Amino acid sequence: MLYSNQEHADQICIDSPGGQLTRAELARQVQSCADWLRQQSVQRLALLADNRPEWVVVDLACRLAGVVLIPLPPFFSPRQLLHVLHDSGADLLLSPQPLMPAEAITCPLQQLQAWKLAPATPARLPAGTVKITYTSGTTGNPKGVCLTDSLLDAVVLALADAVRPLQLQHHLCQLPLAVLLENIAGVDLPLYLGARLTLVPCQQLGFTGSSGLQPDLWLTALHRYQPDSLLLLPQMLQLALGLLAAGQQLPASVRFMPVGGGKVAPLLLQQARTLGLPVFEGYGLSECASVVALNLPGAEKIGTVGKPLGHLQVRISEQGEVLVKGQRFPGYLHDNRADHQNATTADHTASAGTSDDGWLATGDLGQLDEEGYLTISGRCKHVFINSFGRNFSPEWIEAEAQTAPAIAQLVLMGDGRPFNVALITPRGTRQQVDAQLAAVNQRLPDYARIHAWLALEQPLSSDNGLLTANGRPRRQLIGAHFAAEIDALYEQFSASETSAVTH
């Protein structure tokens, strides 16, 4: 347990609207919670809670007591949450409210209630599993990724080596703690480094649901808490740039803003750097316990996701897939292949897995340059092949469209077609969208350009089933849902216009 380094027991390590915790007070609460978990004979604990100190206490107590923790993302739908409870075999739920009929028991933690569950025979876990993080996936139910102590600690130690020269002292957690990236880089890393972390309920930071964010509340919170580091998603970077363009300012205290969770357009990063934002793109996988590669001050190359962390090796397969080797990923829940010993790269076009020589097939397409910087170009299974035989990743074009302020959402369509069209949730007028798409197209080769677009009346979301819980498009479902509208877009173009697209 890396957090248990108690060199400065009286040092404040957690700030929250409800008060502060020193390292010694945190250790006492963790020990008390671990003792309670042992008394209750808990084996697998599901945790649904906002960003509060109790979340951290439960997380660390589970590690101390040998209880498997199943974090429940607050943006999962009720159906997804019930699936996770049944799928994981959780025998205790800590949550403000029960998610299913259950026996209430006394809980020693404020803000939470405890509910005894009666799972069916739980699935066997890979050896050493201490945490199951659920990925939302692009289709179907969330999938449980099993993680071990040694894997989690390896990532924290590697991140500590990478960021220690920055001397970061105060991190604001703004992604839900059930998101593995914030759990590892926003909680475990600051605690290990002796820094302070601030925990604020997500709603007070302006977050609503899985993708809503109120800019004024968000900016007010940043100025109130004055962090020197925080984690960004690509859409949050867009928001920050919009605020700066409107004459607002982020607090001068912020010195390190890693951005990940999706491909980021290089032009967007260049704009951020021109405006003085300390934004650094990175890349990670749940199967690698979050961060794999990261740009850093003095070691960055815009357009790449940085160099791999020191505990990992990365290479590119003959098919262009990114392969990672390091601390072993033990497996998925319900995966009958013991430790993935017999897996092959071909098995992993849908999800990552480890081959018999220890290389994890990520399912991502990428390149490594001569200096060791990694570039991610898209997902293997998302490659479009247009009717002229050109191959490309839609994520590339969708990332380029992030530079268009008039576009709130864009999903590309064009697999098997002569040219691309887009489904767009506009933020501006049609004329503004047209002008900004034209600017995006100027940066793209002809076969990748967007030739027509449809304005959506309602945003795509996880609530309507067209986005995953973490905001990725369910491309097949979107295509089926808007099939008639997409066909109509193509019909608007004459055969002569079509034939010129890629010539």
For residue 356, tell me if it sits in a domain: no
For residue 291, tell me if it sits in a domain: no
Longest distance between any two alpha carbons in the chain, whole Å = 75
Query: In 3D, which of 415, 305, 287, 394 has the Cα closest to residue 351?
Result: 287
Distance CA 8, CA 29 (A): 17
| Predicted structure pTM score | 0.81
Return the CATH number at 41.
Answer: 3.40.50.12780
Domain boundary among 282, 316, 345: 282
10 and 145 part of one domain? yes
For residue 269, tell me if it sits in a domain: yes
Decide if 482 contacts 490 (C-beta within 8 A).
no
389 and 265 part of one domain? no
Decide if 354 contacts 343 (C-beta within 8 A).
yes
Distance CA 83, CA 302 (A): 40
For residue 326, tell me if it sits in a domain: no
CA separation (Å) from 17 to 119, 178, 202, 224, 226?
A: 36, 20, 12, 11, 14
For residue 366, tell me if it sits in a domain: no
- Burial (CB count <10 Å: 0-12, 13-18, 19+), residue 431: exposed
Decide if 116 contacts 91 (C-beta within 8 A).
yes
For the record, the structure tokens of 443 come out as 């940066």
Domain boundary among 264, 282, 300: 282
The residue type found at 444 is L
Query: In 3D, which of 205, 241, 202, 201 has the Cα closest to residue 220?
Result: 205
Identify the domain containing residue 440 by its residue range.
Answer: 383-494
Reduced to 3 states, what is the DSSP secondary structure of residue 281?
strand
Query: In 3D, which of 399, 409, 453, 408 has the Cα closest to residue 427?
Result: 408
For residue 478, tell me if it sits in a domain: yes
Q: What is the pLDDT of residue 353?
A: 58
For residue 271, tell me if it sits in a domain: yes
For the record, the structure tokens of 140 come out as 């179907």
45 and 190 part of one domain? yes
End-to-end CA, the chain: 60
Q: What is the pLDDT of residue 355?
A: 61
19 and 133 part of one domain? yes
Return the CATH number at 486.
Answer: 3.30.300.30
For the record, the structure tokens of 435 come out as 């002008």
Please tell me the total count of domains within the chain.
2
Q: Give every residue of the chain whose pLDDT is below 50, as ranges.
A: 138-139, 337-351, 494-503
Relative to beta strand 207-208, strand 212-213 is antiparallel
Identify the DSSP state of 444.
Answer: S
Domain boundary among 282, 299, 330: 282
Q: What is the pLDDT of residue 137?
A: 54
Q: Which residues contact 109 (CB under 8 A, 6 or more apart)?
A: 33, 54, 57, 58, 94
> How large is the angle between the packed helices 266-274 and 234-245, nearest 10 degrees?
40
For residue 362, tell me if it sits in a domain: no
Q: What is the pLDDT of residue 470?
A: 67
